[in-house]
Amino acid sequence: MENLKITYLFIAGRKNRIDNSNYANDFFYGCRDFLKNSYDVNIIEMNFRQKNLNAKLLRFVDKVLRKISDCSFFLASLISKKNFKIIKKTDVLIATNDRLGFSAIPYLIYLKVKNKKSIIFAMGLIKLKNRNFLTKFFNRLFTKFLIYLSNNIVFLSNNELKEAEFRFKKYSEKLTYFPFCVDVEFWSKNDKNTQNNKLLFIGNDSNRDYELVKNISKHLKDYKTVLITSQINNLEHFDNVKLIKSSWQSDKYTDFDLKNFYQDASLVFLPLKNSLQPSGQSVALQAMSMGVPVIISKTDGFWDHENLIHKKNIYVVDENSLENWLSKIEKLSNDNELLARLADEGRKIVNEKYNSKSIYSMIIELINK
């Protein structure tokens, strides 16, 4: 095992943070653990600035493939001679999301021919709706091909796994579920007392409901609200709202800085659009690990109904209307007993079920299959 050459595919921001203790272990998917255990590990990140002729041609191909299939092809950002040299020496390829999986299909074909292994993490791979019959056909075709090429697809939502198993029964043995996990040692609670009525929203993915986030923030004038996102503009006229333009890929705020924002919040709120993608899970689990109560939209992609239970360790909003959200936040904020239970039980369940150390063990198990 120790002689295996492992290559990780990331979108961006991992290489320069892999040894930085100001960042938690959440988004490295076992990479740090392999390095600590002296494995031969390479990291390939997407390069959106490639300007050679091949990249220009691949950008055109990407646009066509995305248009006809709704699949996240970004071949131009990943395919290069330099990267292919690394892939040729790789025993195990780990793509940390399905966008990277689709973009790495030429590499996956090579590894399949050479009988090498590949593991792809998926979050939003299975679409609930497609724009038309043509996109539905090609989406299914390319998704099926991606599953065929890989050794394992690891879904971060149990509901998305079930839908994938239903649609692709032939490949069900390749499909598995493993929850997104967080660095519980990093996201640990201290004894600082937090005042009530301090709300926090964090996120940038396409399945956050940003319009609803803005409206909630505007209407709750008695609450101090912090929004950390690059997807919202024009909130300067609301004195109760602080907008911080940032994303995980930027270096403006480290995880250590985010930890201070969590620590200062009395409630994390996560309005989401409905999809099979397990949106909101990293922020929810980080907050819960620190003993901060979380209120979140009910979606088809909610990742773990068995362990995350409404009013026991998390608060789930079943109707995504502004009136309902305002009512639930007001009601929850005034129920100190429920807030305390959500904080205590949330921290317990994250420590028991969502510790990032378990990802390394899971990958080792998949490699040994």
Which residue carries 């109760």 as its tokens?
A: 240
Residue 100 tokens read as 């990277």
The single-letter DSSP state of residue 354 is -
Confidence at residue 192, expressed as pLDDT on a 0 to 100 scale = 58
Shared-domain flag, residues 271 and 305: yes
Alpha carbon separation from 214 to 133, 196, 313 (Å, rounded): 35, 20, 26
Question: How many Å apart are CA 71 and CA 11, to the nearest integer?
Answer: 16
* Beta-strand relationship, 117-122 and 198-202: unpaired
Q: How many domains in the chain?
A: 2
- Assess contact for 164 and 153: CB atoms under 8 A: yes
Q: Is position 188 within any domain?
A: no
Q: Is position 193 within any domain?
A: no
Confidence at residue 191, expressed as pLDDT on a 0 to 100 scale = 65
Q: Is position 187 within any domain?
A: no
The single-letter DSSP state of residue 265 is -
Shared-domain flag, residues 125 and 203: no
Mean pLDDT, range 39-68, rounded to an integer: 92
Shared-domain flag, residues 158 and 284: no
- Supply the range of the domain harboring residue 263: 198-353
Question: How many Å apart are CA 335 and CA 342, to the nearest integer?
Answer: 11
Task: Count CB neighbours of 4 within 10 A.
Answer: 15
Give percent of the chain with pLDDT exceeding 90. Answer: 81
DSSP 3-51: T-EEEEEESSSSTTTTT-TTS-SGGGTTHHHHHHTT-EEEEEE--TT--
The mean predicted confidence, pLDDT, of the chain is 92
Question: How many Å apart are CA 277 and CA 108, to the nearest integer?
Answer: 23
Least confident of 59-63, 132-136, 302-306, 314-318: 302-306
Tens of pLDDT, residues 343-365: 999 999 999 999 999 999 999 99
The CATH number of residue 21's host domain is: 3.40.50.2000
* Beta-strand relationship, 294-297 and 267-270: parallel
Q: Is position 177 within any domain?
A: yes
Shared-domain flag, residues 361 and 342: no
Shared-domain flag, residues 256 and 152: no
Shared-domain flag, residues 143 and 234: no
Confidence tier at 128 by pLDDT (50, 70, 90):
confident
Q: Is position 250 within any domain?
A: yes
User: Which of 239, 331, 228 has its CA nearest to residue 270?
Assistant: 228
Shared-domain flag, residues 337 and 220: yes
Residue 268 tokens read as 């994390």
DSSP 289-317: HTT--EEEE--TT-S-TTT--BTTTBEEE
Helix (H) / strand (E) containing 175 = strand 175-177
Backbone angles phi, psi at 125, to 5 degrees: -65, -40
Q: Is position 337 within any domain?
A: yes
Shared-domain flag, residues 207 and 346: yes
Candidate ranges 1-5, 229-233, 269-273; pick with highest mean pLDDT:
269-273
Q: Is position 190 within any domain?
A: no
Q: Is position 102 within any domain?
A: yes
Q: Give the strand order in the sheet containing 315-317.
A: 241-244, 224-228, 198-202, 267-270, 294-297, 315-317
User: Which of 290, 210, 293 has its CA nearest to residue 258?
Assistant: 290
Question: How many Å apart are CA 117 and CA 239, to the nearest integer?
Answer: 53
